[in-house]
Amino acid sequence: MQPQVLTRPGPGAPYQRLDSVWMSRVRRSGWQGWTLLAGGDDVMDQSILFWQEGKGPSRSLSLTLRVRQGSDRKVRDALSGKPRLDMYRGSIPYPRKQIVAGEVHPLDRQWALMAGTALDVQIDARLRIRYLPYEDAASSDVLPYSAQGCLTVVLEGAQGHIDEVTPMLLLLRNELGLDTRLSTAADLEMLYLRKVAWAMRVDLDTLEQSASGTPKERLEALRAEVSRALSVDDVTRVPGYSHAPHFGTAFNPWTSTIGAGEAGWPHWFRFDVEPLLQGPLGSCFLGHDLAASPTHVADRVARVFRSTGHLLSAEERWLRLGTPSQSIHLHHGQRGAGAYLPLRLIPDDRSASLVFDIRLLQRADAIALDAEAGAPSPQNLTERLPLDALHPDRPCGIYFKRGVSLMDSLVRINLPREADRERVLHTLRLVGIEQLGGRPVDEAIQIVGEHGGR
């Protein structure tokens, strides 16, 4: 039975059950982890990600979440009063890790890549917390805004039992004052309306500031406001409207369960994109060129499939997975650069090394910017493009916060030589991937010569 502090009073059952079945997904999910939908107004996207690292006696269970800025002060104050507190200012040490066959394994060394502030607290012999607080953006020695608010809890010597999860959540609740109650369907619909409204440039600030009444009344007010802004009678009746979260395919290489089940962070899909894909935009693709010379592209592609099966932002690789990234050079004034995975709109499926389905634009976290705008940052997010402004002849970047699965969205790989094609095909067969984009892998990997020049 779930403790009362993990469930919400009144009507509405939790969207998920925190039980042994849920925990089995954590164990099977490898580096991707499995999300617990919880946190109310304290936790960004009501998403707390759990994953395991290591094996045997050295196995640990971790959770990570991003604290919303309005809840930063109570977390900072709670940690500052702890007796076993280490505060880092400037260079922040991080454990180096490696991903092998989809699983995370810590290495016996550290590195430091970002400058800023971190609060580390050793709660007891097995449990520790790290928090990256929000900071004054005017300082030249702060973390990227997207990393601020990130909180991680690590339980050493974990056995992978569900009984280990509840004390970690109660630690967040009782020691840090965070709302860890499990989300209901109504909670997720309110989150969905806010995310879709932001993506569609619908301003909800006035409504949110004056919000009052019961949760049901607040939800009805949000529905009405979004319906009014979109000039529809009832937004919930628009085709494609769904507050249900979507998860990526689980990446389990070298097993018979490759592609079985779901894993990772949740995504929500917009309902206004499908009509746009009936026009010129529907013939386009999204492309990504790996940072490698033409002679090394195949090695980079094979390495991604052997490790994560995903393209990830530099920040995700550094902050959570502790793996090297050549694109983590974050300078003041460009502090959004490592936080997003950069793709670009391309007119055909031959114009990039990795080619993705245009329907990725349905993800509510997709951000479109003109090519000259650079990577997303707090300074240029107001310049993001509405999707109806995208066109095959308009160069623009498309950015994603949580990365992109190669198994779910990749439709073609373009390589310069037959030897490269055979190398990647060999890797895909080894890890058990037989199809990409609904086609056999030997059809999805093509030779096109040098390509993808930006």
Kindly indicate the confidence band of residue 94, based on its pLDDT and cuts at 50, 70 and 90: confident
> What residue numbers bound the domain in which 430 lies?
269-447
User: Do 23 and 159 sit in the same domain of this protein?
Assistant: yes
Residues 443 and 418 in one domain: yes
Residue 246 forms part of a structural domain = no
pLDDT of residue 202: 86
CA–CA dist 165, 168 (Å, integer): 5
What is the rounded distance in angstroms from the CA atom of residue 235 to the CA atom of residue 361?
A: 20
C-beta of residue 61 within 8 angstroms of C-beta of residue 155: yes
In a domain? residue 253: no
The CA distance from 120 to 242, in Å, is: 39
User: Which structure tokens are listed for 295?
Assistant: 């002679």
Whether 95 and 208 map to the same domain: the answer is: no
* Cα–Cα distance measured from residue 67 to residue 140, given in angstroms and rounded to the nearest whole number: 22
> What is 228-245 written as a DSSP string?
HHTT-S-GGGSTT-----
Task: List alpha helices for 124-252, DSSP H.
Answer: 165-176, 185-199, 205-209, 215-229
Alpha-helix residue ranges (DSSP H) falling in 254-410: 297-307, 314-319, 406-409
Query: Are both 413 and 324 inside the same structural domain?
Result: yes
Same domain, 352 and 408: yes
- Among 127, 159, 176, the domain-final residue is 176
Q: Is residue 248, in this structure, part of any structural domain at all?
A: no
Band the pLDDT of 333: cuts 50, 70, 90: very low
Q: Are residues 337 and 443 in the same domain?
A: yes
Measured in whole angstroms, the distance separating CA 294 from the mean position of its chain's CA atoms is 29
Neighbouring-strand partners of residue 48: 36
Last residue in a domain, options 157, 176, 195: 176
pLDDT at 11: 56
36 lies in some domain: yes
34 vs 52: CA distance, rounded Å: 10
Query: Does residue 205 register a pLDDT over 80?
Result: no
Query: What average pLDDT does range 429-450 have in this prediction?
Result: 87
pLDDT(335) > 80: no
Q: What is the DSSP letter of 385?
A: P
Going by pLDDT thresholds of 50, 70 and 90, the confidence category of residue 8 is low
Residues 197 and 100 reside in one and the same domain: no
d(CA 398, CA 133): 28
367: its two tokens:
């951000």
At residue 90, the pLDDT reads: 77
Say how far apart CA 9 and CA 359 lie, in whole Å.
Answer: 38
Max mean pLDDT among 196-210, 242-256, 261-275 falls in 261-275
**In this structure, what token pair is assigned to residue 215?**
């949760």
Pair of tokens at residue 169: 């959540």
| Residue 377 belongs to some domain of the structure | yes
Residues 213 and 276 in one domain: no
Asked if residue 256 belongs to a domain, the reply is no
pLDDT value at position 360? 96
Give yes or no: residues 335 and 356 share one domain. yes
pLDDT level of residue 140 (50, 70, 90 thresholds):
low
Locus of tokens 């492309």: 287
In a domain, 452, yes or no: no
Mean pLDDT, residues 132-140:
76
Are 152 and 15 contained in the same domain? yes
What average pLDDT does this structure show over 110-121? 82
How far separated are the first and last CA of the chain, in Å rounded?
A: 55
Place of tokens 């319906």: 227
- Residues 25-40 have pLDDT tens digits of 999 999 999 999 998 8
How far apart are the C-alpha atoms of 323 and 52, rounded to whole Å? 16
Domain shared by 217 and 312, yes or no:
no
* Residue 260 forms part of a structural domain: no
> For 351-408, what is each residue's pLDDT tens digit?
999 999 999 999 999 999 998 888 787 778 888 999 999 999 999 999 998 889 998 9
Q: Encoding tokens for residue 50? A: 């759990």
User: 0.75 exceeded by the pTM?
Assistant: yes
What is the distance of C-alpha 121 from the center of its chain? 25
CB-based contacts of 126: which residues, under 8 Å, 6+ apart?
155, 156, 157
Positive or negative, the CA dihedral 113, 117, 123, 129 is negative
Q: Is the pLDDT of residue 325 over 80?
A: no
- How many domains does the chain contain in total? 3
For the chain, the helix, strand and coil percentages under 3-state DSSP, each to the nearest 5:
35, 25, 40
Residues 43 and 119 in one domain: yes
